[in-house]
Chains A and B, each alone.
Chain A
């Protein structure tokens, strides 16, 4: 369905996505996880060609959607692709809805067929759990709670029955109690509509609950990728291990969960060798000089670490 190959994106002089490969198969939910600022949103935006041209630029790579490279699409081609085939749910629902148009109006624009819009809109609002406002035409975004706004965003994303939905931290801006409801809604819609999903989050716990495959990103690159069960049971990259260790789960509730020490490096000043080197507990001399290539561990499991095979 979606296949990203060797994607590189620059904001000004900083290359914030430094060669990312990623694939989403039909009906699959693929997670993209990593600390804030590692480039997740940039990858997601690139996949829908939504990078603001004034600020950023896709330098190289391929973004194949059903085999065709969308980097070569013209404006009209992109217009037909967006919404209808690939849709997007953004990180902050409030600022992502236009404040001066009604929810109704904004949903209507997302519909593929404009006939019988009224019924279609009520139907969609119901399907995202917004029965309460499905009959009202004059609701503006600011009159809704954060959770409801995100439901509207999701409604807009599925209104045209897309094949792929990119969900960029769909619950980060919401209260914890609302988060779970939204995640359940997404899981339910995925089943019902057979959606393919690229799920972006900094929260590994959420990604574990949603994704079939997981890609771990660090400083603009994928450092580990594999089926969920492999990542959960045998993470190979020290960064992934650190992320898992920092989840306050039942298992390690007693020993205080430990955050990964140190800060993410600046894109303007990346380490020469392995980008995780300064923070890595398992580092050896060799790691400082050369960034390791991504290597196959087993089956569909890959990791970018010289010690991946020995660190079980």
Chain B
């Protein structure tokens, strides 16, 4: 087992290597330069000044040399400093990551708590009115653009009814709050973002759960369970459920990239200072070191998610042994 994990981790290195080459090339090929922000809209900055800044950042060198430089620094876990504010990239990411992880974790839990029961109950009542209604309901969530839903909710709940705050994660008076008030304040800010991201993800898990369950309920061993004289409850919630839940473990591990992508969108909408917004801002500013830093962390999380999916699947399914 330990050997297996070690081998998998080693095999991730070339993969990460490849990912960074491609992303490095792509972001440098995108039109626009980091120096634009500082120079283009400032008539006082001369062309020479612009070149000087470019030289300072090493942007005048050929792309492969720039990549080699970047890689050399990465080898010692030096992510470099931001072009925008000269702060270390790793520090910028470290302060942004907890919010993003927190929101995504909360939203995954919410998705599981709602999606799994919807899936099960739909499968048990396959093709009934309830099943069809649930299908429609979750697909509305799936099809509704996040931005549109967010704006509607912000307008209704935040602006018109004034029940919840609509942007950021802290109130202005945050520092004066007691500990308990702080927790409540942050939670109130996170309700809408978590709801929005969960609503969009609900369709995936509930449909997946439903189709697993429908398939499992057709298996011969379910008939065996009935033939033994078990109650319908035991048949569904013991014999079928365990089999239907197993693949969900994998799906969770594989959902990391989707979550990262989603974070970029809803963090921008709700002005949440997380990784997603950091990525958005740094792309806009062509802040290459930060972009690369976020991407590397994102890629590492994704690959870890895959590994975790495989390990936990082997842990719950007796038929699978990791070699």
- Mark A residues whose CB is within 8 Å of B: 48, 50, 52, 54, 75, 79-84, 87-88, 90, 92, 95-102, 109-110, 140, 142, 153, 156, 160
Contact A83 B221 (CB under 8 A): no
* SS class, residues of chain B in contact with chain A: helix
Residues B188-230 near A (CB distance < 8 A): 218-221, 223-230
Contact A82 B226 (CB under 8 A): yes
Contact of A84 among B218, B220, B226, B229 (CB under 8 A): B229
Contact of A98 among B126, B227, B231, B243 (CB under 8 A): B243
Contact B229 A79 (CB under 8 A): yes
Contact B220 A96 (CB under 8 A): yes
Known contacts: A54-B126, A101-B242. The answer to whether A96 contacts B229 by CB under 8 A is: no
Contact A80 B229 (CB under 8 A): yes
Residues B95-132 near A (CB distance < 8 A): 126
Chain B residues with CB below 8 A from A92, complex form: 220
Known contacts: A54-B126, A140-B319, A142-B319. The answer to whether A98 contacts B224 by CB under 8 A is: yes
- Mark B residues whose CB is within 8 Å of A: 126, 218-221, 223-232, 234, 239, 242-243, 246, 317-319
Chain B residues with CB below 8 A from A100, complex form: 242-243, 246, 317-319
Number of A-B contacts (CB under 8 A): 72
Chain A residues with CB below 8 A from B126, complex form: 54
Contact of B223 among A83, A87, A90, A101 (CB under 8 A): A90
Chain B residues with CB below 8 A from A54, complex form: 126
Chain B residues with CB below 8 A from A110, complex form: 228
- Closest Cβ of chain B to A251, distance in Å, is 38
Complex: A99 Cα to B229 Cα, angstroms: 19
Contact A109 B227 (CB under 8 A): no
Complex: A79 Cα to B239 Cα, angstroms: 16
- A sample of 13 inter-chain contacts (CB < 8 A) reads A52-B218, A82-B226, A82-B229, A83-B227, A88-B224, A90-B223, A90-B227, A92-B220, A100-B242, A100-B318, A101-B242, A156-B228, A160-B229
Chain A residues with CB below 8 A from B230, complex form: 79, 83, 109
Chain B residues with CB below 8 A from A160, complex form: 229
Complex: A80 Cα to B231 Cα, angstroms: 9
- Closest Cβ of chain B to A95, distance in Å, is 4
Contact B227 A82 (CB under 8 A): yes
Contact A75 B224 (CB under 8 A): no
Chain A residues with CB below 8 A from B231, complex form: 75, 79
Known contacts: A95-B219, A98-B239, A100-B242. The answer to whether A48 contacts B224 by CB under 8 A is: no
Known contacts: A90-B220, A140-B319. The answer to whether A98 contacts B229 by CB under 8 A is: no
- Closest Cβ of chain A to B26, distance in Å, is 43
